[in-house]
Chains A and B, each alone.
Chain A
């Protein structure tokens, strides 16, 4: 046997071990859980299943830690280069050793230098406690991963696909990503496991209740997109990335226009009665290219809809009140949801479309105690500092600070346009008349006379806030027929595409939190 065949054999044997991942019994476990092996995930993700891998031999000398439990790869998704880190849960439950962490840091550095999106395919039990001195506190320890994520935020898109646990400190990887796609039943995020909660605080709780995918996508808001299985999660990540440029300096791609879906016209969808609910999804359907809607945080705070879509092929971020849920009133969670979405779109040059049908921010002790003012401030701050093209459409009403949150005239939208049915005011006619004439109303004894008085004052009020009056005062920029809204939006977004805004000279604003 020659030296060369010996060497070839050694290489082949090593590679075979690395590609096989962990012990077969852990592969069996994956199958039972409906999970895919890390390399199968990567094949599904990358165009033609092809990718280039770095530090494949990490910890090869240990013998039983192939790739040290993480694959770091570069390849194409939808024709564009992306970097990926992907945990291998068949290797010590995907836990992080020193080399695991170093590999993750290196792929972050690569993504930064290449200026391309970075995807985190997470399925990890957290730190290897036995290795902690080598991977936890040091300069290039796990903390550096999060530090890098924060530094890269807004520079390149960062996407998290959560296939399994993301535990303790590791739970911050999804927290610092732009979007977190979670697989129902398998994905979880928590700082302390149910076992730890039982030991430390005495709470008995299931993993699903504590940090399951559905909980995070509906209650905590830590998850953005709930996938039924891994394939769906990977497809969602691809669909999401399709809206984004590779980095902040580039512009998102404009595709061929697609007509709207068929259905009732916008005029038919919007009820005449200001107080009656309607389904904003149906209205959105009449404005966007059919099949282009990618909703973010669909299950969380559904009184505000946030999603990416295309209008005549051009990407837009839609922020729309949903009158069908909680009357479209803004709450603590909806304010947070809107703030993050606006910041995401603004970071990557995706123009914003606000569809306002909002009675205002919620009032009452419950929300005041929850800090609705500071949460509302986050939304208004994010909207206000966004410099991408912004169009505000007053669909039916925008009352009080709701007008502000939905990019009202004072917030320098490129246009604030109204449908003919729109009302803009500090408050609606009913509330306003009660507020202004409360003493007078009480003083009228005859019930009939009282009702008549209220009706008259409401009419008067309606005239004062008549949308044509606001147009005449140049408060709003245009009144548009519902049938023409889509073409109006398409024309305006095309015009505003060259918009440039100078930033005030400062380090950064003090953000409300």
Chain B
């Protein structure tokens, strides 16, 4: 799968990568705020980010795409 999906519902708190960035597996790419907690979302695999689909403040549901890889 060439995209990273959210494992949890929440509001986007920070976006830590941009399109074109190289990320490594385990790197935090966005932080969600959910259940009053900061929830880091980590890349499951490494690769070059093609598109970041979320912005700070967005509500995203479990299973929504956060970003795509090239």
Contacts and interface: CB of A to CB of B under 8 A. Distances in A.
A329 B34 contact: yes
Nearest to A430: B36
B7 A326 contact: yes
A198 interface: no
B9 A277 contact: no
B40 interface: yes
B61 interface: yes
B62 A359 contact: no
Given A326-B7, A364-B9, A366-B61, A275 B40 contact: no
A276 to B, nearest CB: 6
B25 interface: no
A277 B39 contact: yes
A10 B43 CA distance: 63
B9 A359 contact: no
A327 B39 contact: yes
Interface string A427-450: 110110000000000000000000
Given A364-B9, A366-B9, A277 B38 contact: yes
B7, B36, B38, B61, most chain A CB atoms within 10 A: B36
A239 interface: no
B35 A362 contact: yes
A462 interface: no
Nearest to B63: A366
A431 B61 contact: no
Contact of A431 (B7, B36, B38, B39): B36
B8 interface: yes
A327 B37 contact: yes
A371 to B, nearest CB: 15
Contacts of A41: none
Contacts of A277: 37-40
A323 interface: yes
Contacts of B35: 327, 329, 359-360, 362-363
Interface in A358-377: 359-360, 362-364, 366
A329 B8 contact: yes
Interface in B4-59: 7-9, 34-40
B61 A275 contact: no
A328 B63 CA distance: 18
Given A277-B39, A364-B9, A366-B9, A327 B62 contact: no
Contact of B38 (A276, A366, A427, A430): A276
Contacts of B62: 364, 366
A328 B37 contact: yes
B8, B9, B35, B38, most chain A CB atoms within 10 A: B35
Interface in A12-53: none
Contacts of A323: 37
Given A326-B7, A364-B9, A366-B61, A428 B36 contact: yes
Contacts, number: 44
A469 B70 CA distance: 55
Contacts of B37: 275, 277, 323, 327-329, 359
Interface string A320-338: 0001101111000000000
A37 to B, nearest CB: 36
Nearest to B8: A326
A380 B50 CA distance: 44
Contacts of B63: 366
Contacts of B8: 326-327, 329, 362
Nearest to B38: A275
A324 B40 contact: yes
A323 B35 CA distance: 12
A470 B34 CA distance: 27
A326, A328, A329, A360, most chain B CB atoms within 10 A: A326
B11 to A, nearest CB: 12
Contact of B36 (A326, A359, A364): A359
A327 B9 contact: no
A327 B34 contact: yes
Contacts of A431: 36
Contacts of A326: 7-8, 34, 39
B35 to A, nearest CB: 4
Interface string A87-101: 000000000000000
Nearest to A327: B37
B49 to A, nearest CB: 22
Contacts of B61: 364, 366
Contacts of A324: 40
Contacts of A366: 9, 61-63
A-B complex: 5 closest residue pairs judged by Cβ atoms: A327-B37, A359-B35, A364-B9, A327-B39, A326-B8
20 contacts: A275-B36, A275-B37, A324-B40, A326-B7, A326-B34, A326-B39, A327-B8, A327-B34, A327-B37, A329-B8, A329-B34, A359-B37, A362-B8, A362-B35, A364-B62, A366-B62, A366-B63, A427-B36, A428-B36, A430-B36
Interface of A: 275-277, 323-324, 326-329, 359-360, 362-364, 366, 427-428, 430-431
Given A326-B34, A329-B8, A428-B36, 11 more contacts: A275-B36, A276-B38, A277-B38, A323-B37, A327-B35, A327-B37, A328-B37, A364-B9, A364-B62, A366-B61, A366-B63
